[in-house]
Amino acid sequence: MRAMSEFDLHCHSSISDGTLPPAEVVRRAAANGVRVLALTDHDEVAGLAEARATAAEVGITLIAGVEISVSWRSHQVHIVGLGLDPEEPILLARLKAMRDGRYGRAERMAAELARLGIPGALEGAGRHAGGSIIGRTHFARFLVEQGIAKDVKSVFDHYLATGKPGYVPHQWASLADALSWIRGAGGIAVIAHPFRYKLSSNERSNLYKEFKALGGEGIEVAYGSASAQEQRDAASAARRHGFLASCGSDFHSPGESMIDLGRIAPLPEDLTPVWSKFREM
Ligand code: AMP
Ligand code: MN
Ligand code: MN
Ligand code: MN
């Protein structure tokens, strides 16, 4: 039997780079046995109202979330905010500015791809983005559609991952900004998928310490892309730094994601789950 959790605190809808509308994400989660779901679109909270309405319909709990893109040293790091007020004005204004910044980056990405002999990427990716935020996943889907690569993952491997020819550097929010926006909106900040970042162990421990010093409280221990060893290492980090433990599928799409909603390993029992704080909020 596949691992299963009633809590899935990280996933995406078509509001960012998922393919299903928020209502469909919630229905699919409920059908998979999830009881508490956080929708955490990239740099955007506009899907939460629809998600909340559908959650009420199907009888599950919806936690308001977001996944904020951060530049930390030379790395792109993701910080998830959970249980926040999705109408808090400063959070909304800052996320809007981040989404605006994505358009300039998309233009630069399209220019790089054109230089590599792939024209029309801005329009093509824009079509996949459908007017909400635009990001690398939308470019990847356009390249797959053009027959340039067989799937989204291989587009990243050959064109869009850090250091690949279609990659363009971008300045995201600072770690301090992301923490202050999340905390200012009453949310809990969580380090997303800690082993997706190519950090030395020294850098990793510095990231955890800085995050903690800025008021960060949680870390994802069980998540879609983590190996069993990485989940053990994330659990050790949670113990060492006193972090709450979170878990999430990071589901994006039925066709693309390896892990479906709710298909997450259980958290080690000695850790304090992040949802122990939800009731107090
Ligand atoms: P962006 O925020 O535009 O930089 O895009 C980041 C998103 O790209 C992530 O949230 C993932 O959905 C996706 N992504 C990043 N790396 C990969 C990869 N190696 N394979 C597939 N998708 C990826
Ligand atoms: Mn994504
Ligand atoms: Mn992420
Ligand atoms: Mn994510």
* 258 in contact with ligand 1, CB cutoff 6 A: no
Ligand 1 pocket test: pick from 103, 137, 141, 162 the residue with the most ligand atoms within 8 Å of its Cβ.
137
Q: Does the beta carbon of 10 lie inside 6 Å of ligand 1?
A: no
Q: Is 60 exceeded by the pLDDT of residue 1?
A: no
Question: Would you identify the CATH topology of the domain 104-160?
Answer: DNA polymerase; domain 1 (1.10.150)
Cα-based distances in Å from 149 to 62, 71, 160: 36, 28, 12
> Which residue owns the Cα nearest ligand 1 atom 22?
153
b (16+ CB within 10 A) / e for 186-207: ebbbbbbbbbbbebeeeebeeb
Alpha carbon distance 72, 203 (integer Å) = 10
The per-residue pLDDT of the chain, averaged, comes to: 97
128 lines ligand 1 (CB under 6 A): no
Q: How confident is the model at residue 3 (pLDDT cuts 50, 70, 90)?
A: confident
- pLDDT higher than 60, residue 225: yes
Q: Would you say the CB of residue 40 lies under 6 angstroms from ligand 1?
A: no
User: Over the stretch 243-253, which tens digit does the pLDDT of each residue have?
Assistant: 999 999 999 99
252 lines ligand 1 (CB under 6 A): yes
Whether pLDDT at 281 is above 80: no
Given pLDDT bands bounded at 50, 70 and 90, which one contains residue 89?
very high
Using 50, 70 and 90 to split pLDDT, how confident is the model at 111? very high
Assigned fold of 7-95+175-280: TIM Barrel (3.20.20)
Gyration radius of the chain's alpha carbons: 18
Contact (CB, 8 A) for 183 and 215 = yes
**What contacts 84, CB < 8 A, 6 or more positions away?**
45, 64, 65, 66, 91, 182, 185, 186, 187
Q: Report the pLDDT value the prediction gives residue 131, as an integer from 0 to 100.
A: 85
What is the mean pLDDT of the segment spanning 19-44? Answer: 98
Question: What span, in angstroms and rounded, lies between the C-alpha atoms of 168 and 51?
Answer: 33
pLDDT tops 60 at residue 189: yes
Instruction: Give the pLDDT band of residue 127 (cuts 50, 70, 90).
Output: very high
Does any ligand 1 atom lie closer than 6 A to the CB of residue 42? yes
**pTM higher than 0.75:** yes
Gap between the Cα atoms of 147 and 152, Å rounded: 11
Residue spans per domain, the chain: 7-95+175-280, 104-160
How does residue 2 score in pLDDT terms, banded at 50, 70 and 90? low
Q: Which of 17, 41, 102 to mutate to test the pocket of ligand 1 (most atoms within 8 A of CB)?
A: 17
Q: Is 264:249 a contact under the CB 8 Å cutoff?
A: yes
